[in-house]
Amino acid sequence: PLPEYAPAVVVGTGYGAAVTALRLGEAGIPTLMLEMGKLWTTPGADGKVFCPMLNPDERAMWFKDRTEAPLASFLWLDLANRDIGRYAGVLDRVNFGDMAVYLGRGVGGGSLVNGAMAVTPKRSYFEEILPRVDAAEMYGKYFPRANAALGVNVVDPGWFETCRSYQYARVSRKAAGRAGFGTVFVPSVYDMDYLRREEAGEVPRSADASEVIYGNNHGKRSLDKSYLAAALGTGKVTIETLREVREILHQPDGTYTLVVREIDEHGTVLGTRHVNTRYLFLGAGSVGSTELLVRARDTGRLPGLGEAVGRGWGTNGNVMCGRANHVWDTTGSLQSGMPALGIDNWADPVHPAFAEIAPVPAGLETWVSLYLAITKNPERGHFTYDAASDSAKLHWTASQGQPSIDAAKALFDKVNRANRTIYRYDLFGDTRAFENRFTYHPLGGLVLGEATDDYGRVKGYRNLYVTDGSLIPGSTGVNPFVTITALAERNIERVLAEDLRG
């Protein structure tokens, strides 16, 4: 049963939450983590914890009747998606009109479903987006701390050149090179030595078995194996699963009461409980934490919250596209689900882009080179509270995605011209070449220095903190989890020293 009181509560178990819980636990503070998803450790009937990517079942998605994969079609056929039972599955897609946000659900948050790309942002861009954060301290201390604790590693360059798993990446690199674009290796939290052994047939396949967005059964150092394992190891941290925080109440004595909904794996509501705490840390992610505070403000629970709550949200400029390769340029039927290369065109003065070379892990030759580009899209959305559905609504229009498309098009038009290739128009459900109606990288909503002070303390309230991707103002120029982790490390160190140890 849920305890009625914990000195510190952390909502969520993603990157910001996991960092915070570990450091609280190390400081000896009893800490309760509340996670709406489940703990992914028990195998299903097939002996596996996570379902196969190419034949998904109920474990794939968070209470959906049908999977909603990002590559909606192939040759305009809906080959990727399957009808499934409604269940507390690992990947959620929250559909807000013109924008859909993919999220991880379960102990480990996004780390359970993401591509494991662990990229430290360019320092100059970090200074641009968060000018009030001391970059020297971040790059000297907190980024190294985050990378070490996350278990970041890089593919062996020699093996990369000869392996089958990254033939697709080498083909894309060659095409980019013909257009004058350079590529860089992308560090990863997937164990690259495990991947080498997968290809050699020495261990069960995971990345090489197309596993990624519905979870990896092996090889990935998700948070449950890094920060959260260490947090539990302090003996001070407990994690309660299938517990969704719905409301935050502020008591006259300054403590907080959380209204927590308990569900089972099939979505049956088991009850509603109250948990009291002195120190409340929100790590429910950009969409989750922002919704909690927008709801708290607009229902009058936390009337002291200001206008900045719900603002400054962005997609990290995400846009996906595919190119059709020549028939002789095969990308291979074996493709690691974990990307290892990116095209780095961030220095472009007009259309900066960092394009990850993504797999098409279909298990057969597709002649497609796929990319997820991160672009510098200045557009921002915002959230408002919708009383009828008791949820936060994102305001983002299709036209706000156009700068992302323009940047990706500038890059890939050049690649296509240099290679005499064309885009693929059959991948996204209709005939569009660029898909930017979804994001993997929701950022912002409770921006550092605006909705919070410079260390994530929510303005207007004491002992209430934001720890996750909602602090970052919509863009970080690379895949975001290393930035989220390092910023959380920085903030909790300060908060522990100033607010909790005293």
Q: Which amino acid is at 18?
A: A
Footprint on residues 222-261 left by ligand FDA (CB under 6 A): 244-245
C-alpha 53/C-alpha 51 separation (Å) is: 6
Which pair of structure tokens corresponds to residue 360?
Answer: 């098409």
Footprint on residues 269-288 left by ligand FDA (CB under 6 A): 283-286, 288
Which pair of structure tokens corresponds to residue 212?
Answer: 């990624």
Footprint on residues 128-147 left by ligand FDA (CB under 6 A): none
- Letters for 21-40 (x = contact with ligand FDA by CB under 6 A, - = none) are -------------xxxx---
Question: To 10 degrees, the CA torsion angle through 135, 136, 137, 139?
Answer: 80
Of 15, 313, 354, 385, the one binding ligand FDA (CB under 6 A) is 15
C-alpha 261/C-alpha 298 separation (Å) is: 20
Comparing CB distances to ligand FDA, the nearer of 63 and 76 is 63
Q: Which amino acid is at 165?
A: S
Binding flag, residue 109, ligand FDA (CB under 6 A): yes
Using only C-alpha atoms, the chain has a radius of gyration, in whole angstroms, of 22
Binding flag, residue 71, ligand FDA (CB under 6 A): no
CB of 327 to ligand FDA, least distance (A): 30
Structural contact between residues 346 and 375, judged by C-beta atoms closer than 8 angstroms: no
Judged by CB under 6 A, which stretch of 1-9, 115-123, 159-167, 177-185 contacts ligand FDA? 115-123
In the chain, % helix, strand, coil (3-state, to 5) comes to: 25, 25, 45
Comparing CB distances to ligand FDA, the nearer of 358 and 421 is 358
Binding flag, residue 121, ligand FDA (CB under 6 A): no
Nearest to 166 by CA among 155, 176, 175: 155
Binding flag, residue 411, ligand FDA (CB under 6 A): no
CB of 467 to ligand FDA, least distance (A): 7
Catalytic residue among 68, 356, 379, 489: 356
Comparing CB distances to ligand FDA, the nearer of 290 and 369 is 290
Q: Does the annotation mark 127 as catalytic?
A: no
C-alpha 18/C-alpha 223 separation (Å) is: 7
Nearest to 90 by CA among 129, 120, 57, 47: 57
Question: To 10 degrees, the CA torsion angle through 431, 314, 99, 295?
Answer: 180
Comparing CB distances to ligand FDA, the nearer of 17 and 72 is 17
The burial class, CB within 10 Å (0-12 / 13-18 / 19+), for 180 is exposed
Binding flag, residue 11, ligand FDA (CB under 6 A): yes
CB of 355 to ligand FDA, least distance (A): 13
C-alpha 450/C-alpha 74 separation (Å) is: 43
Comparing CB distances to ligand FDA, the nearer of 37 and 317 is 37
Comparing CB distances to ligand FDA, the nearer of 12 and 473 is 12
Of 198, 240, 262, 468, the one binding ligand FDA (CB under 6 A) is 468
Binding flag, residue 469, ligand FDA (CB under 6 A): yes
Nearest to 380 by CA among 298, 301, 439, 424: 439
Which pair of structure tokens corresponds to residue 22?
Answer: 């570990």
Of 40, 87, 102, 412, the one binding ligand FDA (CB under 6 A) is 102
The burial class, CB within 10 Å (0-12 / 13-18 / 19+), for 437 is buried
Of 294, 358, 447, 484, the one binding ligand FDA (CB under 6 A) is 484
Binding flag, residue 187, ligand FDA (CB under 6 A): no
The burial class, CB within 10 Å (0-12 / 13-18 / 19+), for 118 is buried
Comparing CB distances to ligand FDA, the nearer of 90 and 411 is 90
Comparing CB distances to ligand FDA, the nearer of 89 and 109 is 109
Footprint on residues 37-56 left by ligand FDA (CB under 6 A): 37
Binding flag, residue 14, ligand FDA (CB under 6 A): yes
Catalytic residue among 68, 211, 441, 489: 441
Structural contact between residues 160 and 166, judged by C-beta atoms closer than 8 angstroms: yes
C-alpha angle with apex 289: 88 to 223, nearest 5 degrees?
A: 60
The burial class, CB within 10 Å (0-12 / 13-18 / 19+), for 307 is exposed
Binding flag, residue 500, ligand FDA (CB under 6 A): no
CB of 229 to ligand FDA, least distance (A): 16
- Letters for 303-342 (x = contact with ligand FDA by CB under 6 A, - = none) are ----------------------------------------
C-alpha 412/C-alpha 415 separation (Å) is: 5
Of 8, 13, 80, 360, the one binding ligand FDA (CB under 6 A) is 13
Q: Does the annotation mark 326 as catalytic?
A: no
At residue 8, what are phi and psi to the nearest 5 degrees?
A: -130, 140
Catalytic residues: 356, 441
Binding site for ligand FDA (CB under 6 A): 11-17, 34-37, 102-106, 109-110, 113-117, 213, 244-245, 283-286, 288, 292, 440-441, 468-469, 479-481, 484
